[in-house]
Amino acid sequence: MTVVLFQLANGLVWGWVVALVALGLSLIYGVLRVINVAHGAFYMLGAAVGVVLYEPLQSALGNAPGAFALVLVLSPLLVGAFGALLEATALRPLVERGRWVMTIVTTFALLLILQQGAQLLLPGVRSVPAPLAGGVELLGLRYPLYRLVLAGIAVLLIGLTALFLYKTRFGLWARAVRQDRELALSLGIPAPWVYSGTFALGTALAAAAGWLTAPVVSVDPRMGMDILLQSFLVVIVGGLGSLRGAVVAALLLRLAEGLFAVGFDPVSARALALFLMGALLLWRPHGLFGREEVSS
């Protein structure tokens, strides 16, 4: 029973992390129509930048949780700004000319450059100690406190993003471009701002997730691949462009994997969860919340 509970709790925690990463991916796709293949690299970058900043900040502040929280603000800001810069220089000319295939080629190129760049600058595997020790007693199960905090922050960030999209002018613009780009542009919505802002937001969310999970996983240049796989999967199973669908599918994927992990080894559990997602996609090729593209 405790095993089941433990796996379910793990599934839930990771489900929210994947949802956070996938939310950024889905947002970028919805507004720019760009499939950001480099999204996992921004997640990795969030953790790598965090590793670089954490040590000096910790000795300066003398307080691990405080330094950790400060990095949680700084790393996404830096990565988001970097993302906006890349968007403005490499992607926007292609987006504006409608060279859709080339936008994907470009993000693919960014993936290679960022991943290999990290390999050159920060080789090897690093680990970050959890800023909060201790555990929580839950129905006879002792669960690490930090993981609960991690899930809580992920939920909070998803909620804040939703608020941002529905309560601010920028959010209104972004949703307008998402609905009907031509119409939105003809209404005078400043497209460059919306594109850069959305890309910055999406990559910053990935970076936040990267730093949040740094104490739970090991930080290395390849760490973004697994999360990219999962977020791609949930974005498409949830229905391309559907933010709600991505979150639902993320929880579904990780909870299913957690349940499978009760009876199987981790690799088989992952394989089974992937098969489940594949079956869902066969059943609904356009995703759980997706709409079929209108063909005329």
Partner 1 sequence: MKGFVSGGNRSISRRVLPLALGLVSVIALGSAPLWLDAFSLSFLLKVLIWGLFAASFDVLFGYAGLLSLGHSVYFGLGAYGAAWMTLSYGPEVFPWALGAGVLLGGLAAAAIGALAVRTGSHGFIIVTAVTALIAFLGAQSRRDLTGGDDGLTLSAMPLALGGWRAGCADPGPAYLFALGIVLLGLGALGTMIRSPLGLALRCLRENELRAQALGYDVYALKWLAFTVAGLGAALAGALYALVNCHVSAALFGWLVSADVLIWTLFGGAGTLVGPLVGTGVFLSLRELLSDLWPAGYPVLVGLALLGIARFLPRGLVGGLRTRGLGPTRKGEGP
Please check whether residue 5 is in contact with residue 141, taking contact to mean a CB–CB distance below 8 angstroms: yes
Q: Which of 116, 127, 168, 218 binds partner 1 (CB under 8 A)?
A: 116
Q: How far apart are CA 239 and CA 244, in angstroms?
A: 9
The window from 6-14, 43-51, 201-209, 222-230 that contacts partner 1 (CB under 8 A) reads 222-230
Least spacing, CB of residue 248 vs partner 1, in Å: 17
- Between 182 and 292, CB nearer to partner 1: 292
Least spacing, CB of residue 41 vs partner 1, in Å: 10
The residue assigned the tokens 């209108």 is 294
Checking 192-197 for CB contacts under 8 A at 24+ apart, the result is 192/88, 192/92, 194/31, 194/170, 195/31, 195/32, 195/87, 195/88, 195/91, 195/92, 195/95, 196/84, 196/87, 196/88, 196/92, 197/84, 197/170
Checking 182-191 for CB contacts under 8 A at 24+ apart, the result is 191/96
* C-alpha atoms less than 13 angstroms from C-alpha of 193 in its C-beta half-sphere: 11
Rule CB under 8 A: say whether 43 interacts with partner 1. no
Rule CB under 8 A: say whether 102 interacts with partner 1. yes
- Between 53 and 281, CB nearer to partner 1: 281
Least spacing, CB of residue 202 vs partner 1, in Å: 16
Q: Which of 94, 153, 158, 288 binds partner 1 (CB under 8 A)?
A: 94
Rule CB under 8 A: say whether 36 interacts with partner 1. no
- Between 130 and 269, CB nearer to partner 1: 269
Q: How far apart are CA 114 and CA 60, in angstroms?
A: 29
**Which chain residues interact with partner 1 by CB under 8 A?**
29, 35, 37, 90, 93-94, 97-106, 108-113, 115-117, 119-120, 225-226, 228-229, 232-233, 235-236, 240, 267, 271, 274, 278, 281-282, 285-287, 292-293, 295-296
